[in-house]
Structures are given as structure tokens and as C-alpha cells.
């Protein structure tokens, strides 16, 4: 990524990606019951997280990944390391 244009388009990119997750056949069920505003907040937090990890000026202010995903039962083929310790991992 480089340049102002990319910086402006990045939140929209994450938003589009998350919209697809919310209606996805495999993972959409995890977002059932989330309000429109909660989904927007999620996109915003993920945008901030990626910005911080990639050295941008935004700061991630959300919960650590273990806390945010604990109890959701994300396992198997769609599993990731969300329930492992660490702020971003």
C-alpha cells in the first residue's frame, strides 16, 4: 500500500471484505444477532488492527483476540488461532 488514495480506500476494502463474511455460508452464523452498528465497529477495529500491524499511525483499541473470540467455538476447517494467547495472534 502506498499513497493517500490507498489510505482512503483501505477502510472501504475491509468493509467490503467483512460484508462478505457476514453473509458467508461458513462463517456468517457467527455474526447472527449483531446489529448494523456492531458490524461497522468490527470492520473499524479490524481496519485499525491491520493499520497498526503494518506500521500505520492508527492504534488498535479493541480487545485481545483470545478474549474477543473465546466461547464462539471457532474450530475445524474454519478455525484460526483466535483463541490462542496474544493481542493480535
Where along the sequence are the contacts to ligand HEM (CB under 6 A)?
27, 30-31, 42, 45-46, 49, 62-63, 68-69, 72, 74, 78, 80, 82
Nearer to ligand HEM, 4 or 77 (CB): 77
Distances (CA, A) of 21 to 17, 18, 31: 7, 5, 8
What grid cell was written down for 16?
Answer: 467490503
**Least CB distance to ligand HEM at residue 65 (A):** 6
Q: Which residue, chain included where needed, has cell 491491520?
A: 50
Nearer to ligand HEM, 5 or 58 (CB): 58
Distances (CA, A) of 63 to 45, 47, 51, 80: 9, 14, 16, 17
Nearer to ligand HEM, 37 or 57 (CB): 37
**Least CB distance to ligand HEM at residue 19 (A):** 14
Amino acid at each position: 500500500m502506498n499513497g493517500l488514495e490507498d489510505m482512503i480506500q483501505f477502510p472501504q476494502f475491509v468493509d467490503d471484505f467483512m460484508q462478505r463474511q457476514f453473509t458467508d455460508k461458513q462463517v456468517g452464523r457467527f455474526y447472527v444477532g449483531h446489529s448494523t452498528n456492531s458490524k461497522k465497529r468490527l470492520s473499524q477495529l479490524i481496519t485499525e488492527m491491520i493499520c497498526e500491524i503494518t506500521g500505520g499511525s492508527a492504534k488498535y483499541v479493541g480487545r485481545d483476540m483470545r478474549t474477543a473470540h473465546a466461547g464462539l467455538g471457532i474450530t475445524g476447517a474454519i478455525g484460526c488461532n483466535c483463541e490462542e494467547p496474544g493481542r493480535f495472534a
